[in-house]
Amino acid sequence: MTDLETLSGDEDSGGALYTVVAGEGDGFLLALAAGDTAGGAWDLGYSATTEQATIIAYELIANREMDISRLIVAMLELDGASDEEPVFRAESPEFRMWLDRAHAGNPAPGAERSLDASARAPVVGVAYRKDPSLLVEKTVELGRLFHRDAATVAAGVISAAAVAASCFAQSGLDLITGVAETIGLGLGDIGAGLDRPERIAGLPGEIASLLPAVGTSSGEEALQRAGGDAEDPIQMVLAGLLLAAPVAPRHHVPISSAAQIGGSRLGAVVGAIVGARVGIRAWPWAFANDTWFAEIGRRLVRGPDEVRDLPIPYAVEQHLMSGGRPGFH
C-alpha cells in the first residue's frame, strides 16, 4: 500500500504534517512486530511483546469487547497452562512475575514500573480509535490487570491515544496535541486507586510541553527532551511519541531510534504508531508470520469479527519454536 504524503511545511520542521489515511490503522500490528524485532529481545524475531498484543487483538476481533477472564486464560495458555510447553519468548521480568502469580491462582497486578502496558495498549487504541473516552477506559482496564503503578498505566494510555490518532493520519504538532487532549479526558480515572498517582497529576501539560521539540529524530535527544529518566515509563513513551510524530521520509527510522533507547517494547510502541499511520508495508527487519499480523490488523480495523478461520496463536508460536507438530491444530 502506498502512503501518500501531503506536507504542511518542511518535513524536518516542527510544523504540523498531514498524511492521507492509509488503512485507518490496519498496519499497526505488523509494524509493532517489526519494532519488537528491531529491539532484539528475542534474537530470531519478535518476542512476548508481540505475542501478547496478538492475544488481545484476537479477543477484540472476536468479541469487540475485552473479557478479562478470557484474556487471563489465553495468556496462561501460551505459558503452558494446558500441560504444553510455554511459548512466550523473552518476556519481561514484570510479565514473568505476573504469569507466575496467575498460574498460582492469583493474577494480581505488580507494583513495578514497566513499559509492558505501553506495548499492549496499541491494540486497544486501534479498536477504540473512534471513541476517546472508551479508549481511555478500556486501556486503563487492561493496564490495571497487570500493573498497579499509576505511571505505567498512564503510559499505556499515551500509547493507545497516539496509535488511535495515527489511524487518522495525525502527525507532528497535531499528534502531540491530540494525545494531550485524550489524556485530559480521563486523567482523574487513570490513577485512581493506583500506586504513586501524584506522578501523573500534571500529565496533559507534560505532554504539551513536548510541542517545541517536535522534529527530534535522535533517540537519546528525544529521551532528554522528555525528561531523561529511562526508568520512567511515561518519559520513555513520550520520547517514543516525539520520535514517531514527524512524517519521516524513511518510515523505519523512528522505529529503529526508539528500539535503540527502549529495546523491543519501545520499538513496538513506536512501530505501532508509525504503522497505524503508513499502513501495511514491508519493514527492514526479518520475522516470521508477517502476513498473519497484516490480516489481524485488517480484521481489527474493518472485520470480519471472526478468528475461527485464523491460526490458533498457541499453534503458531509452538510451530515457530519447535518446527511444528504433526496433524491439524
CA 16/CA 5 separation, integer angstroms: 12
* pLDDT value, residue 237: 98
Q: What's the N-to-C CA distance of the chain in angstroms?
A: 32
* pLDDT value, residue 323: 67
> Which amino acid, residue 216?
T
Buried b / exposed e over 220-234, threshold 16 CB at 10 Å, is: ebbbebbeeeeebbb
Domains annotated on the chain, with CATH: 5-322 (1.10.4080.10)
Residue corresponding to grid cell 512476548: 48
* pLDDT value, residue 94: 98
CA 115/CA 313 separation, integer angstroms: 23
Cell of 128: 477504540
Q: Do 50 and 290 meet the contact criterion of CB atoms below 8 Å apart?
A: no
DSSP three-state, residue 250: coil
Say what the alpha-carbon torsion angle 193, 70, 154, 118 is, to the nearest 10 degrees.
150
Cell of 181: 487532549
Buried b / exposed e over 59-94, threshold 16 CB at 10 Å, is: bbbbeeebeeeebbebbbbbbbbeeeebbbbbbbeb
Q: What is the pLDDT along the chain (329 residues), one digit of tens a residue?
A: 333 333 333 444 444 444 578 899 999 999 999 999 999 999 999 999 999 999 999 999 999 999 999 999 999 999 999 788 999 999 999 999 999 999 999 999 999 999 999 999 999 999 999 999 999 999 999 999 999 999 999 999 999 999 999 999 999 999 999 999 999 999 989 999 999 999 999 999 999 999 999 999 999 999 999 999 999 999 999 999 999 999 989 999 999 999 999 999 999 999 999 999 999 999 999 999 999 999 999 999 999 999 999 999 999 999 999 864 433 33
Task: For residue 33, give the nearest of 326, 324, 316 by alpha carbon.
Answer: 316
Q: What is the pTM of this model?
A: 0.92
> Of all helices (H) and strands (E), which one includes residue 28?
helix 28-39
CA 26/CA 302 separation, integer angstroms: 8
Characterize the bridge pairing of strands 5-6 and 18-19. antiparallel
Task: For residue 285, give the nearest of 34, 7, 26, 31 by alpha carbon.
Answer: 34
CB atoms within 10 A of CB 114: 25
Angle, CA of 229, 258 and 167, to the nearest 5°: 115
CB atoms within 10 A of CB 177: 18
* pLDDT value, residue 21: 83
Task: For residue 96, give the nearest of 82, 112, 118 by alpha carbon.
Answer: 112
